[in-house]
Structure 1
Amino acid sequence: MELRNFFKLLLKHKYGLIAVPVVAIIITYFLVRNQPDVYSSQAQLATGIVDNTQQVLSNPITQESRIAQEFSNLMEMMRSKKMLDQVSYQLMIHDLTSERPYRKPSKLLLDLSDEARRHALEVYTNLYQKKQSLSLFDRDQNGLHQLLESMQYDDKSLLKTLLIYRAEASDFINVQFDAENPELSAFVVNTLCKEFISYYTSMVRENQRKAVDFLADLLREKQDSLNSKTKQLRQYKIANRVLNLSEQATSLYGQISDYEAQRQQALENVVSTEAAIRKIDSRFDPSDRQYMESTQVRVNNQIVQLNEELKQATDAYVESGFDESYKNRIDSLKRIQASKVLQSSDKYVFNPLTVKQDLVQQKTKLQNDNVIAKSSLRPINDELARLNQRFDALVPHEAVVGSFEKAIDVAQEEYLSILAKYNQVSMEASYSTRIRQVITAMPGLAQPSKKMLLVMIGGVVTFAFYVLILFGFFFFDNTIKTPKELANRTKVPVLGYLNMLSNSIIDFKKIWDTSEGSEKTKLFKNLLRSIRFEIDREMDGSKVLLINSLLPNEGKTLLAISLAYSRAVVNQKVLLIDGNFEDSDITSTVNPQIYIEDYLKGKVTADELKNAGLLNVWGNRGGDISLFEVKPEAEVNGRFEELKKHFDIIIIESSALNTLNRSKEWVEVADKVLGVFESGQNITEETKPNINYLKSIRPKFIGWVLNKVPDEDASSGRNK
């Protein structure tokens, strides 16, 4: 489909495209001329959602998605039926009690009796106070709802002109209502804002009260749990005489570390002194040792006795926890022991050959130190065992006390968290609601009239709708209107086309013999000449031309007569045969003297044809008969061979191809076949087999002639 064809279709309907919008504009004007003026009132609410000046107790919402969700919830709550019902009730209460109602009473309201009006007022007032909606299941309340609808005070009617939106990215919500009464528009806006703030405030405070009560109960439970766990820990410490496990364990661990160090030092002294003594012994000669020991027996015995006393004093010093009184005795014994060692040294009698006095003194001192070190090991080990036993006894208490303390920490953390939440909710509950009305709606001025706009919209919409309908017809129109479309759809050449003539009777003599006539007639004559030329080229010496079509009444008769007359004009001897036994239009129009059946049966001889004129027309007697039922095919072909000798061209009009063999029998006789296709027809599933048949007999089938082409398509084709 070409866009040019669509513009041609629009041009064809140009008067309709002008007339229909004009009619729509006129109708719209009469419909809106009595439309009342519209008054608009607007109020503004501050929500405190993104206003930092109101964020005293709670943190402001920073995420844009959450901000948008908060505003959306508030606006939907204002549009809810619960809020609008409160406004509806107040409007009805006002109109039922005031001498100046906002709207003219409806027919249903005027029909109410005084008792019914009092009842309606009572029900509306009761429902308003209880914030309840009308039940449509109740017959009485359903009637009151119909009364609201009749006054256009119901929620659906109010929503038609109610506009609630957020002012860009601000903290404010604008509420706007349009009505035919300025006081009505202001009343609806202010009432809705007041009812919404009241409802929202009560709902928030109720939720806060429930939250405070819940947190208070939970806080008491957590406090009781914390006190219970603390009391259990205290009782356990008292029962097991545990004061402070951490300090006790630290003290014991320090004492154990000290004794461990002393034991390690004593062990090192024992090992070191024994090694030194062995080293000195290895340097003495046996004979020298015998000489020295024999002179020192008494002094040594005293030293041994002192060593024993020193060991006992050391044990007592360790067991007493290093008491200073024992330390003085140990120092005294060490001084006496030192003097005895010196005395023993004075009595040494050395071999004049060896000088080992210093070694003997060192050995004696080392022996004393070794004895002291060995004596201190036992009390140190005993004390370590006692301290470890006390330390091990603390371990079970530490596990129990640790579990108690951990449970107390968890309970304390829960308690403090709930306490903080309780304090916050308590403060918020005592703080006034954030939503407030900052701008009160006032009776507004009349809005600019939209009557002219509605009239223009009515014309534009009607025009667009008309164009859309035409485009729909154009888009879904698969009919063939031009030779190009016919050639593309059938894949068969188109030899030409004929424009549609409005004349009921066509005078071919006048068309060909004079140059006068309308533009359509002249165009028809020129197109016919073009078709004649194309047929001559396709015939190429053949003489029998069959004209048929896919369906009846597509213009075969007109084309056949036109071609016959155009041939006679150029002095060709033409024979036009009406082979359409179904619908013998040529026969009924011309009233011929000779019938094709008579010729095929031999009633007309060839000698009678010698004196025939330029244009000869043969009819048929009609009836339920076909060509080969008149005579067999071979005889028919023979008779037509005889005709070819007497005529330059034989033109046959047959019935349409939907008559099956009646048309196809003529195809067998003809040399060439020409199809006629009516403009504006579509190729259907019924005609596709016949098209395929014509394509199968090419080159006998020479092509199409498109007939009855509308004037605009004919002019377009001629220009191309």
Structure 2
Amino acid sequence: MEIGNFFNLLKKYRTVLIIIPLVAVITSFFLVKNLPDNYQSHAEIATGIVDASSHLLDQDPTTNVQEQQVYREFSNLMAIMKLKKLIDQVSYSLMIHDLSDPYPFRKQSKELLELRPYEKDNVLAIFKKKFATLQPLSVYDKNENSLIGLLRSMKYDERNIVKDLLIYREESSDFISVSFNSENPQLSAFVVNTLCKQFIDYYTQSVKQNESNAVNFLSNLLDTKRKALSEKTSELQQYKIQNGVLNLDEQSKAIFSQIMTYSDRKLQAEKDVISNQGAIDAIVQKFSPDERKYVESITNKYNQAIISTQDQLHILEDQYVRSGFNNKYKESLDSLQQQLSNQINLTSDKYITNPLVSKEDQVKQKLGLEISRDLAKYSVKSINDELTNLNAKFSRLVPFDAKVKTLYFDIDIAGKEYLDVLNKYNETNLRSSISIKLVQIEMAQPDVAQPSKKMLLIILSGMGSLFACLFWLFVLFYIDDTIKSPTELVNKTQLPLLGYLNKISGENLDLRKLWDVEHREKMKTFKELLRSIRFEIDQELKGEKILAITSIEPGEGKTLLAISLAYSYSMINKRVLLIDGNFNNATISNTAQPQVYLEDYFKNSQFGKSELSSSNTTVLGNRGGDVTLLEIGSEAFVKSKFDELRTKYDIVIIDTAPLTALNKSKEWLLFANKTIAVFEANRKINNIQKQHITYLKGLENKFAGWVLNKTEYDQKKEKHS
């Protein structure tokens, strides 16, 4: 497809391209002439979402607000504002106003005018009730469904309101803009202000209810956690009281310290026993049996007093150990030890020694060591008893410690849960007191009419219709597979072209008058193109004289071409024979009324032979009917007759049947020197026609070329462009 062909198509339909947009413009003018003016009212709502002054207490200053979160919050607010229940509130308000106010926003609809006064009162009461309870109208209720029809008749229903309602965020600001367009400035302002008020009330109530529910839930949870913490603390206290536990850590440290002290005293006492016994044994070894007997007999009465004092000292020592070495027993112990020392000294003074050996010091030392040994032995026993008692106390503290630690752990968990809930409660309580508060900072006011768009609509209608026409023509051009120019015919058939003929205007052309003077101007271009075709035919014939003219389909113009060529050749003083070989449609025969018919001329018989005149232009007609050339005469006879015709005429033109007539056309082509085919412009080549084109290709050199007929193609304009 060439762009030039598209412009030719536009030129062809230029009248349509002018009339349709013009009609659209005129129609649009009358349609928009009576359109009412448009009034827009605008309001602003401050949300506090991105306003830093609204988050001084409930937001960490180091935390940046995520843009995605801000976008979601604004989207949520605008979605709430478009809820059907809020739009219904606006609808109810409009109906209440128009039913109760003497100056309604719109004229009452036909449905509303048909209501009686008491019915209007009932309708008004229902709308007020629905408005107060924030309830929708039910389509399943007959009365309420009729009210929905009233809303639609007044164009106060949700669909009509949302259509002219615009809700958006002002760029990256903290404000939500609400706009409404209508034919009444008071109506526009009323809708915007009512919607903003209902939205703020509904959102505030919803937020407060949610915050109240959250605070109450956290308060109840806080009481539960506080009670659990108190129960765990009370359980620990009762356990300590019941088991006499004050401070396990301090008690265990004190008992352990006492154990270590007694262990040290025990080690020291054991050392004293061993050392004193060793010293006593060493002294005893120094006495002979006679000396020991003498000493023991003299000191026996003093030993009884020493033993008594030792018993008292043992009892006091035991009390001193059991008291944990209390200092109040220290003075008594020192007093008894002093008394014991005096008794030992008295015993040593009464010693009667052997005059040969003086043993006074050894005896005194021995007695002192024995007393110290006995005291140390008794101390070890008392210390062991006390260590056993202390270890038992320490062991008894172990299960107490495990239980107390478990209780402390439970208290710690309960305390953390309580603090977490307390922090959440305080945070929620703080946010609920300073939560986002929507404020309508700019009230909608009746404004002047918007700039008229009537002229714009008229222009758009004209441009739209023009574009639609252009688009429609382009679609037709794009899907058009017909052949319009000689170049397309050559490209699609791959066969040569002799020329083309323009389309002759008018219907039912009379071939007898086509070349008259009155048609001379109309045929001027046709004649020029025909002369060109005649020249090309002469170049192809190269002295030969038999030319067959055919076509693929009937009605493509081969008969007109045959007649025109015959006339053209006669104009250059050539003797021309025009044979009407189309038995199915003998147009030439019916027009020319020939004197000789080919059924007679080519009949292979010695009777009734016909002779042709030798005038410049002769027509050999046919009587028509279901007959073929070779049925009239044999091939050899027909060939001899054509040889005879070559001697009489300069050019023999055969108008054959179309190729769709099969052998009726092909029999004529057997005797032609050259064959030309006529193809009508603006036709497609289908699969059946491709078979006939293949046949023409099989003629090879005998096929002279195509003649494209009835075309609007203009070679001069193409060269000029």
Fold shared, TM-score > 0.5 on shorter chain: yes
Normalised to the residue count of structure 2, the TM-score between the two structures is: 0.77
The equivalent position to 1:69 in structure 2, one of 53, 61, 72, is 72
- Change beyond 3 A, Cα 1:92–1:648: same
Q: SS at 1:443's partner residue?
A: coil
- Paired residue for 1:166? 169
d(CA) in 1 for partners of 2:662, 2:381: 139
Query: Are 1:415 and 2:418 counterparts?
Result: yes
d(CA) in 2 for partners of 1:543, 1:377: 163
Residues 38-77 of structure 1, C-alpha deviations (whole Å, 9 max, x = no match): 2221111111111111224543881112211211221122
Deviation at 1:553, TM superposition (A): 0.9
d(CA) in 2 for partners of 1:642, 1:262: 168
d(CA) in 2 for partners of 1:568, 1:246: 144
- Paired residue for 1:283? none
Task: Tell me which amino acid in the other structure corresponds to 2:659.
Answer: L
Query: Are 1:106 and 2:72 counterparts?
Result: no
Deviates more, 1:539-548 or 1:153-162: 539-548
- Change beyond 3 A, Cα 1:298–1:658: farther
Residues 671-706 of structure 1, C-alpha deviations (whole Å, 9 max, x = no match): 433221111112233433333333344343333211
- Paired residue for 2:663? 661
- Paired residue for 1:701? 703
Alignment of 1:287-366 (within 5 A): 298=286
- Paired residue for 1:435? 438
- Paired residue for 1:614? 616
- Paired residue for 2:134? 131
- Paired residue for 1:472? 475
Q: SS at 2:450's partner residue?
A: coil
- Paired residue for 1:578? 580
- Change beyond 3 A, Cα 1:419–1:629: farther
Query: Are 1:23 and 2:50 counterparts?
Result: no
- Change beyond 3 A, Cα 1:44–1:618: same
Task: Tell me which amino acid in the other structure corresponds to 1:705.
Answer: V
- Change beyond 3 A, Cα 1:502–1:423: same
Deviation at 1:320, TM superposition (A): 10
CA contact (8 A) 1:575 1:651 kept: yes
- Identity over aligned residues, as a percent? 47
Task: Tell me which amino acid in the other structure corresponds to 2:532.
Answer: S
d(CA) in 2 for partners of 1:616, 1:86: 97
- Change beyond 3 A, Cα 1:608–1:297: same
- Paired residue for 1:552? 554
- Paired residue for 1:59? 59
Q: SS at 1:690's partner residue?
A: helix
Deviation at 1:388, TM superposition (A): 8.7
- Change beyond 3 A, Cα 1:386–1:617: farther
Deviation at 1:226, TM superposition (A): 3.0
Alignment of 1:396-411 (within 5 A): 400-411=403-414
d(CA) in 1 for partners of 2:668, 2:469: 48
Q: SS at 1:103's partner residue?
A: coil
- Change beyond 3 A, Cα 1:404–1:714: farther
- Paired residue for 2:8? 8
The equivalent position to 2:676 in structure 1, one of 666, 671, 674, is 674
Residues 247-295 of structure 1, C-alpha deviations (whole Å, 9 max, x = no match): 667778899999999999xxxx9xxxxxxxxxxxxxxxxxxxxxxxx99
- Change beyond 3 A, Cα 1:526–1:222: same
Residues 146-196 of structure 1, C-alpha deviations (whole Å, 9 max, x = no match): 111111111111122211111111111111112222211111111111111
Normalised to the residue count of structure 1, the TM-score between the two structures is: 0.77
Task: Tell me which amino acid in the other structure corresponds to 1:547.
Answer: I
Task: Tell me which amino acid in the other structure corresponds to 1:121.
Answer: L
Q: SS at 1:653's partner residue?
A: strand
- Change beyond 3 A, Cα 1:620–1:126: same
Task: Tell me which amino acid in the other structure corresponds to 2:166.
Answer: L
d(CA) in 1 for partners of 2:669, 2:321: 146
Q: Where does the alignment leave 5 or more consecutive residues of structure 1 unmatched?
A: 270-293, 300-311, 333-375
- Change beyond 3 A, Cα 1:134–1:669: farther
Alignment of 1:193-204 (within 5 A): 193-204=196-207
- Paired residue for 1:592? 594
- Change beyond 3 A, Cα 1:641–1:177: same
Alignment of 1:488-499 (within 5 A): 488-499=491-502
Alignment of 1:31-46 (within 5 A): 31-46=31-46
d(CA) in 1 for partners of 2:637, 2:323: 161
Task: Tell me which amino acid in the other structure corresponds to 2:157.
Answer: D
CA contact (8 A) 1:539 1:672 kept: yes
d(CA) in 2 for partners of 1:215, 1:295: 89
Deviation at 1:405, TM superposition (A): 3.9
- Paired residue for 1:343? none
Task: Tell me which amino acid in the other structure corresponds to 1:85.
Answer: D
Task: Tell me which amino acid in the other structure corresponds to 1:180.
Answer: E
d(CA) in 1 for partners of 2:262, 2:5: 117
Q: Where does the alignment leave 5 or more consecutive residues of structure 2 unmatched?
A: 272-281, 288-313, 338-378
Task: Tell me which amino acid in the other structure corresponds to 1:194.
Answer: K
Residues 190-244 of structure 1, C-alpha deviations (whole Å, 9 max, x = no match): 1111111111111111222222222222223333333334444445555565555
Q: SS at 1:687's partner residue?
A: helix
CA contact (8 A) 1:573 1:613 kept: yes
- Change beyond 3 A, Cα 1:83–1:380: same
Deviation at 1:135, TM superposition (A): 1.3
Matched residue pairs, number?
A: 643
CA contact (8 A) 1:496 1:531 kept: yes
- Paired residue for 1:338? none
- Change beyond 3 A, Cα 1:258–1:31: farther
- Paired residue for 2:277? none
Task: Tell me which amino acid in the other structure corresponds to 1:586.
Answer: I
d(CA) in 2 for partners of 1:572, 1:259: 162
Deviates more, 1:492-501 or 1:695-704: 695-704
d(CA) in 2 for partners of 1:74, 1:551: 73
d(CA) in 2 for partners of 1:607, 1:632: 15
What's the C-alpha RMSD, in Å, of the aligned pairs?
A: 4.5
Residues 302-349 of structure 1, C-alpha deviations (whole Å, 9 max, x = no match): xxxxxxxxxx9xx999999999999x99xx9xxxxxxxxxxxxxxxxx
Task: Tell me which amino acid in the other structure corresponds to 1:698.
Answer: E
CA contact (8 A) 1:595 1:620 kept: yes
- Paired residue for 2:86? 83
Task: Tell me which amino acid in the other structure corresponds to 1:618.
Answer: L
Q: SS at 2:125's partner residue?
A: helix
Residues 642-688 of structure 1, C-alpha deviations (whole Å, 9 max, x = no match): 44444443322222223333333334443433221111112233433
Q: SS at 1:480's partner residue?
A: coil
- Change beyond 3 A, Cα 1:30–1:255: farther
- Change beyond 3 A, Cα 1:491–1:393: farther
CA contact (8 A) 1:609 1:646 kept: no
d(CA) in 1 for partners of 2:717, 2:682: 15
- Change beyond 3 A, Cα 1:243–1:537: farther
CA contact (8 A) 1:576 1:616 kept: yes
- Paired residue for 1:484? 487
- Change beyond 3 A, Cα 1:254–1:111: same
Deviation at 1:37, TM superposition (A): 1.8
Task: Tell me which amino acid in the other structure corresponds to 2:413.
Answer: V
- Paired residue for 2:227? 224
Deviates more, 1:384-393 or 1:108-117: 384-393
d(CA) in 1 for partners of 2:542, 2:402: 123
CA contact (8 A) 1:499 1:714 kept: no
- Change beyond 3 A, Cα 1:251–1:147: same
Residues 578-618 of structure 1, C-alpha deviations (whole Å, 9 max, x = no match): 22222222222212222222222136999966752333222
- Paired residue for 1:151? 154
- Change beyond 3 A, Cα 1:297–1:192: same
CA contact (8 A) 1:482 1:717 kept: no
- Change beyond 3 A, Cα 1:545–1:298: farther
Q: SS at 2:523's partner residue?
A: helix
- Paired residue for 2:98? 95
Deviation at 1:111, TM superposition (A): 1.5
Task: Tell me which amino acid in the other structure corresponds to 1:83.
Answer: L
CA contact (8 A) 2:165 2:179 kept: yes
